[in-house]
A and B are shown apart, each in its own frame.
Chain A
Amino acid sequence: MSNQPFVIERIFDAPVERVWKALTDKEQMKQWYFDLAEFKPEPGFEFSFEGGKDDRSYLHLCKITDVIPLKKLRYSWRYQGYDGISFVTFELFGEGSKTRLILTHEGLETFPYNNPDFAKENFAQGWSHIIGISLKEFLENTAVKK
Chain B
Amino acid sequence: MRRDVFQAIADPTRREIINIIAQQSLNLNALAENFDVSRPAISRHIKILTECGLIVIRQKGRERYCEANLKPLGEVSYWIEQYRVFWTSKLDALESFLNKEMIFPDKRTPSKKLKRK
Contacts and interface: CB of A to CB of B under 8 A. Distances in A.
Interface of A: 1-3, 5-6, 8, 10, 12-14, 18-19, 22, 28, 31-33, 53, 97, 101, 103, 105, 108-113, 118, 120, 123, 126-128, 130-131, 134-135, 137-139, 142-144
A113 B2 contact: yes
Contacts, number: 117
Nearest to B17: A144
Contact of A123 (B19, B74, B98): B74
Given A32-B93, A137-B77, 20 more contacts: A6-B83, A6-B84, A12-B94, A22-B94, A32-B94, A33-B90, A97-B116, A108-B83, A109-B76, A109-B79, A113-B4, A120-B4, A123-B74, A123-B79, A130-B77, A131-B71, A131-B77, A134-B80, A139-B19, A143-B19
A109 to B, nearest CB: 4
Contacts of A6: 80, 83-84, 87
Given A123-B79, A143-B19, A1 B12 contact: yes
Contact of A33 (B75, B80, B93, B101): B93
Contacts of A108: 79-80, 83
Contacts of B76: 109, 138
